[in-house]
């Protein structure tokens, strides 16, 4: 009878039944609302069971007046404390708070649970007359061992606290740590768990994160989370970068994919031109493409490869539609010996192309074939990309330009106001005004589209004028008209004053040219 009474007293006295009820409630709540907490339920159930087993043992030992009763009771109470704290934290942090929309990070929850457990255990130990101070001070060596062995766990715990306190890393962030690239799914008191896109989970000790640098992907102050991606492609350098960029930009602009940010707008850039001579014997091989990068901002960081692939498809189809093939990963190997004969033939071809260009503009109509041949030697192919300034108002003149393709805009700035005075196309020339009068450039000429263009050295042009005054007269006519165009832009002239100015300009300009070139009056 004594033993049974002692056992029952133990049960009632230590709220064992309350603990059992708590475990049952917790198990039901977890089953219903928080299945992810199941592991913790099992842990609390284990300690409850330990307590249940030890409790009657304490009663029995007490009834038998055994000296062990006190120690076993302490053990049983410890199990009860751990189980109770487990029940409370699972109910509060695992069920109630998440249902109220509050998610407390697990490190805070674990530390809180550990703190409460330690305090409860200390107070029980004190109540039960267990001398903790003696335990702590009895062995300096034991203390040293404990401190030493706690160094690493403490560094991890402190690391976890600091990392969360300064928000340098948070659950949900995408990070790159060395070769590891993945999403932070959990921050525990000892480690941070990172799930990779390959369905791996990497456990990184918090102490490591404290000591080493890591990248938080897609994060920028004051900006939404989006990560800049590069999609590379190569196109033969016979296609101008501005043509390819315009084409690809147009295709990228129309992308409507939830994983691709609208702002900044996806776009292409040219990152390398023919990357120089290949790594083979000098002057034998060359890479024959320009390297481009299409850049877009990825919103769903989990979908990097599929979205890259989507962007690649768009680039590929845009280029294919325009009849442009992606470059083969080939290198040109020059097997033909650069003989004198070959060089001559090449020069001949260039020269006849230049003569063709000169024959295409009225300016040189008066020249004989021989004179054109002479002039052709000095002609240089000088293309401009859309948006490039070909010559700027006020600059010193060095060249005469002849357009063979594309469109250019002539603008003049007067009193801070810029005005377009003309558009130039294939067959037009410009830059003659300054060369013939010695004055600075009268206007700015800018490429509207990609412009195919040749230029002729100023000295050579002047020598032709000096030799062929008829050209000077022809140019003077065009020049006077252009001058009137410039004046009209500046002074807003009506038709009558335009005509009057034109006649006056013709006289002035011819005189100026004569003066500049030292020509006799015709």
Which residues of this protein are in contact with ligand CMP, per CB under 6 A? Answer: 391, 397, 410, 421-422, 430-434, 441-443, 445, 482, 485-486
**CB 439, min distance to ligand CMP, A:** 7
**CB 519, min distance to ligand CMP, A:** 19
**CB 507, min distance to ligand CMP, A:** 18
**CB 438, min distance to ligand CMP, A:** 10
Residue 229 or 441 having the CB closest to ligand CMP:
441
Distance (Å, whole) CA 328 – CA 236: 8
Task: Report the chain's terminal Cα–Cα distance, integer Å.
Answer: 146
**CB 396, min distance to ligand CMP, A:** 10
Cβ(393)–Cβ(442) below 8 Å: yes
Residues 6+ apart with CB under 8 A from 79: 47, 48, 50, 51, 54
**CB 479, min distance to ligand CMP, A:** 8
Distance (Å, whole) CA 465 – CA 479: 14
Residue 37 or 428 having the CB closest to ligand CMP:
428
501 pairs with which residues across the strands?
none
3-class state of residue 176 by DSSP: strand
**SS3 sequence of 262-322:** CCCCCEEEEEEECCCECCCCCCCEEECEEEEEEEEEECCHHHHHHHHHHHHHHHHHHHHHC
Residue 181 or 434 having the CB closest to ligand CMP:
434
Distance (Å, whole) CA 191 – CA 180: 15
**CB 489, min distance to ligand CMP, A:** 8
Closest listed residue to residue 188, CA positions, set 203, 201, 167: 203
Residue 260 or 358 having the CB closest to ligand CMP:
358
Residue with tokens 């409850």: 48
Which one-letter DSSP state was computed for residue 94?
I
Distance (Å, whole) CA 174 – CA 181: 7
**CB 462, min distance to ligand CMP, A:** 13
413's enclosing H/E stretch is strand 408-414
Residue 297 or 430 having the CB closest to ligand CMP:
430
**CB 387, min distance to ligand CMP, A:** 17
Distance (Å, whole) CA 461 – CA 404: 18
Residue 308 or 481 having the CB closest to ligand CMP:
481
CA 354 to chain centre: 45
Residue facing ligand CMP at closest CB distance:
485
**CB 392, min distance to ligand CMP, A:** 9
Residue 266 or 485 having the CB closest to ligand CMP:
485
Residue 195 or 378 having the CB closest to ligand CMP:
378
Distance (Å, whole) CA 417 – CA 51: 91
Tokens of 413: 């700035």
**CB 517, min distance to ligand CMP, A:** 15
Tokens of 59: 């009663």
Q: From residue 438, give the alpha-carbon distance in Å to each of 6, 233, 432, 445, 515.
A: 120, 47, 10, 18, 10
Distance (Å, whole) CA 470 – CA 362: 12
Closest listed residue to residue 157, CA positions, set 104, 116, 119, 110: 110
Residue 51 or 441 having the CB closest to ligand CMP:
441
Q: From residue 408, give the alpha-carbon distance in Å to each of 397, 429, 453.
A: 18, 10, 10
Cβ(405)–Cβ(432) below 8 Å: no
Cβ(229)–Cβ(277) below 8 Å: no
Closest listed residue to residue 351, CA positions, set 381, 376, 378: 376
Residue 233 or 430 having the CB closest to ligand CMP:
430
**CB 338, min distance to ligand CMP, A:** 38
Tokens of 265: 């707008």
86 pairs with which residues across the strands?
none
**CB 443, min distance to ligand CMP, A:** 4
Residue 367 or 443 having the CB closest to ligand CMP:
443
3-class state of residue 422 by DSSP: strand
Residue 59 or 458 having the CB closest to ligand CMP:
458
Residue 60 or 433 having the CB closest to ligand CMP:
433
């Amino acid at each position: 009878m004594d033993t049974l009474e002692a056992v029952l007293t133990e049960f009632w006295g230590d709220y064992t039944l309350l603990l059992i009820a708590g475990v049952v409630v917790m198990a039901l709540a977890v089953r219903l609302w928080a299945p992810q907490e199941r592991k913790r339920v099992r842990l609390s159930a284990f300690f409850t069971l330990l307590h249940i087993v030890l409790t009657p043992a304490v009663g029995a030992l007490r009834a038998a007046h055994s000296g062990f009763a006190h120690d076993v009771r302490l053990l049983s109470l410890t199990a009860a404390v751990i189980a109770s704290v487990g029940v409370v934290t699972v109910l509060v942090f695992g069920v109630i708070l998440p249902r109220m929309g509050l998610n407390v990070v697990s490190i805070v929850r674990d530390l809180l649970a550990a703190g409460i457990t330690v305090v409860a255990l200390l107070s029980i130990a004190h109540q039960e007359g267990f001398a903790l101070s003696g335990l702590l001070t009895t062995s300096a060596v034991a203390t040293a061992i404990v401190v030493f062995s706690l160094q690493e766990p403490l560094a991890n715990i402190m690391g976890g606290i600091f990392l969360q306190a300064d928000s340098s890393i948070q659950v949900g962030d995408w990070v790159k740590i060395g070769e590891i690239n993945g999403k932070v799914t959990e921050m525990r008191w000892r480690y941070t768990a990172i799930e990779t896109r390959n369905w791996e989970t990497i456990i990184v000790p918090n102490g490591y994160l404290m000591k080493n640098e890591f990248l938080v992907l897609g994060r920028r102050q004051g900006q939404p989370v989006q990560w800049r991606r590069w999609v590379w492609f190569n196109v033969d350098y016979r296609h101008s970068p501005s043509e390819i960029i315009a084409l690809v930009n147009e295709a990228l602009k129309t992308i409507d994919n939830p994983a691709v940010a609208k702002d900044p707008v996806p776009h292409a850039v040219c990152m390398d031109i023919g990357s120089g001579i290949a790594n083979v014997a000098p002057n034998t091989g060359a890479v024959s493409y320009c390297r481009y990068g299409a850049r877009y901002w990825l919103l769903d960081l989990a979908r990097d490869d599929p979205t890259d692939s989507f962007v690649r498809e768009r680039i590929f189809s845009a280029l294919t539609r325009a009849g442009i093939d992606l470059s083969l990963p080939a290198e040109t190997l020059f097997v033909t010996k650069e003989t004198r004969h070959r060089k001559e033939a090449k020069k001949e071809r260039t020269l006849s192309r230049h003569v063709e260009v000169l024959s295409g503009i009225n300016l040189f109509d008066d020249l004989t074939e021989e004179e054109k041949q002479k002039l052709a030697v000095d002609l240089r192919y000088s293309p401009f990309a859309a948006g490039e300034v070909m010559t700027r108002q006020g600059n010193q003149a060095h060249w005469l330009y002849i357009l063979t393709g594309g469109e250019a805009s002539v603008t003049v700035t007067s009193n801070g106001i810029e005005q377009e005075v003309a558009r130039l196309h294939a067959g037009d020339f410009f830059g003659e005004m300054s060369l013939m009068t010695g004055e600075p450039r009268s206007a700015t000429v800018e490429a509207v589209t990609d412009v195919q263009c040749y230029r002729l050295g100023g000295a050579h042009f002047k020598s032709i004028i000096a030799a062929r005054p008829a050209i000077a007269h022809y140019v003077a006519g065009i020049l006077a008209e252009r001058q009137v165009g410039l004046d009209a832009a500046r002074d807003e002239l009506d038709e009558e004053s335009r005509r009057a100015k034109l006649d006056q300009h013709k006289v002035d300009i011819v005189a100026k040219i004569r003066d500049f070139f030292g020509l006799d009056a015709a």
